[in-house]
Every structure is written in structure tokens, then in C-alpha cells.
Structure 1
Amino acid sequence: MANNLRDVYIIGVGQTPCGKFPSQAAHVLGREASWAAIKDSGIHARDIEIGFCGHVYQGMGVGQRTLKDIGLVGQPVINVEGACGSGTLAFWEAWRTIAYGQHDIALAWGVENLSKIMSGGPLPLEEDDIEVALGMSMPGLYAMRAKRYLDEYGISAETLAKVVVKSRKHAAQNPIAQFRKETTVEQVLADPLICDPLTRSMCCPVGDASAAAVLVDGETLKRIKRDESRLPIKVLGCIAQSGGYASATGLTCDPSENVTRTSQMAYEQAGLGPKDMDCVEIHDAFAIAELIVTEALGFAKKGEGARLIEEGKSNYDGDIAINASGGLLSRGHPVGATGLLQTVEIVNQLRGEATGYQVADAKIGLIETMGGAQPAMDGITCVVSILGK
């Protein structure tokens, strides 16, 4: 990795509420979030030199259609797809083009309108995937991970329910969250069983949203006309990796190795470690994911992620605030937008402007997003970003 990368800052962010909006086209959601980010940055829209749009199911040219609606045409716009990691992959592309000196100002956004293409149930997967052809779904895959984890480490389904209880509590204070009603362990366990041991509340919802960020290099930050009352947030580390081959004896598509590998590279790039993080947004598409990813990121030893939940250490006011937004389980998981929603949350936390629970004195935050599954691989993509004041 090059050592002479330019400093990159986020100077504006924007987002839409998460929910089901079948009458709103994806580019309309994208326009709302992108324009909010541009306004937040205080720059002129035409200062943006390049755009990267993350999405999964929104068809051809959704990025170009988004920017056309706010008068931005002619500049390069790249549509980025990396399954559930599409949003943060778009952010990584924007960071990279600035860090390597190709452009000075970039817009990254993610958008998805899932409710226009499906009313509920698991995401449609690639039918030529042998496991999908044999009936594998994402709930099934995460249920397999959960069953093994519970058995291997002696954890009960009540711990998974407590992940949801914490998630709903955090989301209850977040005005953009899809689910804002608190729940109990008993209610979560009494929910319809989707795939043993996962009940409905332990699975993320179908939904729609968009989120965006404006990025600039350090020198441009000094000279550009912008709203200087808005605190710029520095990108301390940003790493994207694809999945590797899974162990021949391990569980199919265990994401731990990919998350660990990617996060270690991001920590090294930032010159920081897990203990330096104040707030974290992780990819908790299913309740078991919080335990697995927490461990993979280095916040707990293998098999001890449950202790953070049981002891309240991952609450917004705990030792390490994990998913103070409500995460994918409760804020929502509009797949292409998810990574940028996580990014906006961390930026707002570091600015002291969280839309929900504010993590006290937050100075450093981490975003982890992973996407997809394929046979004998530990996922399709993983992106880890570290941001700081």
C-alpha cells in the first residue's frame, strides 16, 4: 500500500429515513440524500468532480439518474455493486480517487428501494450458485452460523434476543430508524421462527433509504469555499477486501476471516487498534452477526462476544458503543444504502450531532460492512473504515 496518500476528509453527509416507500423511485431517494450531503458541506454542487453510487437491485444508470435531478451532468459517475457492501464500496472508491490524487472532491452515496421489488422474505440470490439451487438462503446461512456458535460456546438463544432488545432500544431514539418500538427478550423469543434458532426479530427488515457523503482532500479543505461551522471528519483508514477460500473443514461462508483481515489492515493504516474505538457501526443483518463480527474486529476474544451483550458493555453508554443507531436489525438494511447510513451515523457521532443516542466524547469511530455469500468463500466483500475528528 502506498505511503504517500493524501489526507481525505468528509465535509458533508445526508440521509433519508429508513422504511418502506414503494412509490419513491431509487433515484428520488438518492437525490434527497445527495442534496442533503451537498448542503451540509456548504460547497457548490458543481464543485463535485466525480460520483460513486452503491446499489444492488436498482437497474442501469441509477447514479446518473440521481445526479441529473440535481443538475449535475457531464462528470464521471460510477455505479458500484458489492452486495450488501455496495455503499461502503462506493465510499472506498471515492476515498481512493482522492487519496491517490486523481480527484479533489467526490460524492459517494448508496441507495436501495427493496419494497418496489419484494414485499418481504429473503433477498433474491444468484440461482447458478450451487447452494442457492439446493435451497440455501441468507436466513438459513446465518441460522447455521448461529446454531454452531450457540453449541460451540454454550450460549443460549436468549443472548441473541438480548442483541435485538439492545438494537431496538437504540433505534427507539433514532428518528430515521425503521423500527422504533422497544421490545423484550420474551417478545423476541415468541416471534415467529424464521430459521431455527432465528426468530423474525432476529432478522433485518426489508426497506428503502439512501445516504451520502462529500469527500475532499486536505489541501482542498483549506482553500474551498464551504460552511466552516461544519466539523470535517478525517478518514484515518479505509480498506476493501474480497472474500478468500473458506476452510475445508470450517462452516460454509464464515465471515470471520474476511472481517478480521480487512479490519487489521484498516487498524494498521490508521495506526490504531480496537481499544481506540469509541463508537462502531457493524453489519448485524442477523442477531448472531453482532457476536461474530464483534469478535472478528477484536473487541472480544473468540466466543466471548456474548459477554458484551450480557454485561451491557456494547450499549451506547458502555465501554464500546456498538450500533448506537439501531444497526441493520432496527435502523434498517436497505442493502445498497447501508454502508453510507453507517458512515453518516459515525460522522454525526464524532460531530456530537447523533440523530439518536449520542456517544459521550466520541473521537474515533469504525464502520464495518460485509456483503454476499458464495460456496467455499468467506463472503463476497468486506469494507472497514475508521474515522476521526
Structure 2
Amino acid sequence: MRDAYLVGAGQSAYGAFPEESYRSLFQTAFEEATESVPNGLEASEIDEAVIGTLGVGGRQLGLSGPAVTEYVGLDGVPCTRVENACAASGFAVRQAVQAVKSGMADVVLAGGFEIMTDMSSDATKYWLGVSGETEWERLSGTTFSGVYAQMASVHMEKYGTTREQLSRVAVKNHANGAKNPHAQLGFECSLEDAQSAPVVADPLNLYHCCPTSDGAACALIVSEDVVDEYTDDPIRVAGVGAGSDTVGLFERDSYTGVPASQRAGETAYEMADLEPGDLDFAEVHDCFAIAELLAYEDLGFCEEGEAGPFIESGATELGGELPVNTSGGLKSKGHPIGATGAGQVVEAYKQLSGKAGDRQVDDPVRGLTHNVGGSGGAAVVHIFEREEHSSSKSSSARGARERESEVSA
């Protein structure tokens, strides 16, 4: 099976953009992604596209993938739309990797988009709620903040996790997001601010919850046969893992972990032949502060029940032993549902390419992205590894592809 490589990635800003459409935001992300490829990449070289979106607000529910790919000039390119709630474009990246590894394609675009700020708050809550368990959670009045509040309450009772430790997630991620020009909430907050905010669903307050966002993100995945055409500094997709679980939280045996994340992480580590201690940074799904703490434990960054002390130790801050959510995470960078997973890959690409600016990790080699759908009904993990350039790979493949294209035309 062939290796797959990440050669470019880009995103729009995240926020509220009433003057933009989902197509224009996707175009911004697509152009940034293609322009980020060191040796250049043209739309005509893309073999396939996989697009993640929930379809918030009901816009273009059918054929939403082709609706954005044709807009950026990918006429005739096979396109698949993926929906896995908040993990939609994380799974789009996974499908792009599968297409490349299987030999069905050499260059695949994986991306996602969402418009979430052009509706009333009630309508937004409805569209967020469709990813929850419908009969026994959503229709009985349970919100996602309520579901994650239950997780937080149980974790606090079982392990002694504190509100201050939850608030430290927000302080860290806002500090990182303040260094990210794409972040929706690009400002710092104090620990006092994060602890004294209005309660949303006890014990979670406003600073423990991510915003709703408009945005788009794209990643470009290529095969080992053509990677040399696009970069001299390849970033290999070293590991991929995914898992699913019950959609409803009430159906699970434990509220203090996300089994889908655990399975996804284990599979990705095994494929990459790595351990959590080998990572230099991670982007994890922090839709709520407790979600980041659960991710620390689910992905093996610390022992079960130790996430609170782990965040308190400073280990996950910039300059710590394992910086987490250097982009600002969902909490500060924003959470346009269909774009979030691909947006995490954008940050991984920037970190491993040394292009993360003021939030750059010192000489990273390996990074992980972790994207969760709903309250844990689905999860996907990718591990990316910077590797030395190999001159043994074919340097003439691009010319061969161009000649083949000319013949077929």
C-alpha cells in the first residue's frame, strides 16, 4: 500500500461573515491551500475531492460537495460529500488518504465548510442538535452543552477535576488564538475572566464553550509516486485511525471517556508505530473545555483521571512538553462544523512546515489531529510526520501526468 503525503493546506478566517457565501469561503481556503504547495499545484492536477459539511441552515443539502468544487474550477472531478457531524472534514481527510493509498488517485483535495451565523439562535441550536441522539436526548430538551456538562460533572466527581482546571483550557487556547490571524475569538482571557463567565450548563460557563462559526478549510493529499513534484520537504501521513460509538451519551457505560477517540488513537498509533510520547504537538477537539481534558486521557497524553493536573502543569502550553491546540482550538479559533477537521490539518501543516508564526513549536517532527462528531458518536485521528527528502522517488511523474492529460484531452 502506498504512502500518502500532505503537501498543502489552507483555510479562510473563522467568524461571522454576512458578506460571504459558503462558496466564497471555500474558494478562499482552496486558493490558500494550492498556493501553500511549495512547488505549486494546479486545479487540473486534482484527481478527486472529498468535502465535509453538516449543511447547517439547510443550504444546498444535496450535492453540496460539487456545489463548491465546481465553483473553484474542479469541473468533472469526482466529488463525494461526507457528513459525520463535527468530524465531517476529518473523515474527508481520511477518505482522501484511503483514495491515495489504494492507488485510485494521486492527488486528492479534502476539505469542508459551514455557514452558521446567518440564523437565529434557536435555528442554530436546532441544526447543532441534529447531531445528537434525536429521540431520547434532543427531543427531550438536551443540548450539546448539557451533554458535555454531564461529562464534566461526572469527571469532576470521580477524579476531583476543578472548574479552575476547566478554565485553564480556555486561557491557554485564547492565548494561542491571539497569535492566529484566522481565529474568530483572537484575544487573550485571564483565569479570572474564564472562571467568572455566565453559566451555560452547570458546571460549564461561556468560556468553557466554543463559538458558532462560518468558515472553510482544505488539505491536499498526494501519493508517494508524485510527492516529489510538489515539495522537497514531504510530510507523511504516518497514521490514521477512526472509531464510532453510540450517538446518545446515555447509552454508554462511562461518561469520563470517549471510546471512539480511544479506538481512533490506538489505531493511528499502531499504524504509525509511535506512542503518545513521540508527538511534538496536537490539535484536539475542544468544543467544550471538558472535551479537551477527555482527549488528553483518551489519546494517552496522561493517565486516566489526570487531565486536570496535566493542564495545570503547563505541559500543553506553547513551550510545554506537548503543546495542544496551538491554533487556538475550537474554543478560540472557532468551530465551523464541516470545516473543523480539515482546519486542524491546516494547523498541522503549518507547524510541520515552520509557518505557524508566533505560535510556532520548536522544530516539530510529528503532530496529531483529533476530530470528534457529536458527543463521541464518531472520531478520527491523523498523525503527520515530517521526513527527509528521498531522491529515489520519481521526479518525472509530473511530466508523465501532464503528457497523459494532453493525450486524453
Q: Could you state the TM-score of these two structures normalised by the residue count of structure 1?
A: 0.92
Residues 192-227 of structure 1 deviation map (CA, whole Å, 9 limit, x = unaligned): 1101011111100011111101111001123x4x4x
Please state how far the C-alpha of 1:248 moved relative to its aligned partner. Answer: 6.4
Please state how far the C-alpha of 1:129 moved relative to its aligned partner. Answer: 2.6
- What residue number does 2:50 align with? 52
Moved more, 182-191 or 328-337: 182-191
Quote the Cα distance in structure 1 between the aligned partners of 2:128 and 2:324: 28
Q: Aligned letter for 1:60? A: G
- What residue number does 2:36 align with? 40
Query: What are the equivalent positions in structure 2 for 1:215-226 lying under 5 Å apart?
Result: 215-222=221-228, 224=229, 226=230
Q: Secondary structure at the match of 2:129?
A: coil
Matched, 1:250 2:257: no
Query: Alignment partner for residue 175 of structure 1, among 174, 181, 191?
Result: 181
Matched, 1:342 2:338: no
Quote the Cα distance in structure 2 between the aligned partners of 1:247 and 1:344: 34
Q: Secondary structure at the match of 1:319?
A: coil
Could you tell me which runs of 5 or more consecutive residues in structure 1 were left unpaired when the two chains were aligned.
Answer: 374-378
Please state how far the C-alpha of 1:247 moved relative to its aligned partner. Answer: 8.9
- What residue number does 1:15 align with? 11
Quote the Cα distance in structure 2 between the aligned partners of 1:65 and 1:271: 39
Q: Aligned letter for 1:382? A: A
Query: What are the equivalent positions in structure 2 for 1:239-388 lying under 5 Å apart?
Result: 239-243=241-245, 250-251=253-254, 255-373=257-375, 379-388=376-385
Residues 257-309 of structure 1 deviation map (CA, whole Å, 9 limit, x = unaligned): 21111100100000101000000000000011111110110010011011221
Quote the Cα distance in structure 1 between the aligned partners of 2:160 and 2:35: 50
Quote the Cα distance in structure 2 between the aligned partners of 1:35 and 1:64: 17
Aligned residues: 375
Matched, 1:210 2:213: no
C-alpha contact 1:94 1:215 (8 A) present in aligned 2: yes
Q: Secondary structure at the match of 1:114?
A: coil
Residues 315-358 of structure 1 deviation map (CA, whole Å, 9 limit, x = unaligned): 01101011111101111111110001100101110111114401
Quote the Cα distance in structure 2 between the aligned partners of 1:355 and 1:19: 20
Matched, 1:27 2:33: no
Q: Aligned letter for 1:383? A: V
Please state how far the C-alpha of 1:249 moved relative to its aligned partner. Answer: 7.2
Q: Aligned letter for 1:283? A: H
C-alpha contact 2:241 2:266 (8 A) present in aligned 1: no
C-alpha contact 2:257 2:297 (8 A) present in aligned 1: no
Please state how far the C-alpha of 1:22 moved relative to its aligned partner. Answer: 2.6
Query: What are the equivalent positions in structure 2 for 1:85-234 lying under 5 Å apart?
Result: 85-119=87-121, 122=125, 123-126=127-130, 128-222=134-228, 224=229, 226=230, 228=231, 231-234=233-236
Q: Could you state the TM-score of these two structures normalised by the residue count of structure 2?
A: 0.88
Q: Secondary structure at the match of 1:236?
A: strand
Q: Secondary structure at the match of 1:333?
A: coil
Q: Aligned letter for 1:135? A: G
Quote the Cα distance in structure 2 between the aligned partners of 1:277 and 1:89: 21
C-alpha contact 1:27 1:63 (8 A) present in aligned 2: no
Could you tell me which runs of 5 or more consecutive residues in structure 2 were left unpaired when the two chains were aligned.
Answer: 387-409
Quote the Cα distance in structure 1 between the aligned partners of 2:218 and 2:18: 20
Quote the Cα distance in structure 1 between the aligned partners of 2:159 and 2:242: 30
Quote the Cα distance in structure 2 between the aligned partners of 1:179 and 1:360: 25
C-alpha contact 1:16 1:209 (8 A) present in aligned 2: yes
Q: Aligned letter for 1:186? A: E
Residues 44/124 of structure 1: CA separation in 2 closer, same or farther (3 Å cut): closer
Q: Aligned letter for 2:89? A: G
Quote the Cα distance in structure 2 between the aligned partners of 1:128 and 1:321: 36
C-alpha contact 1:368 1:383 (8 A) present in aligned 2: yes
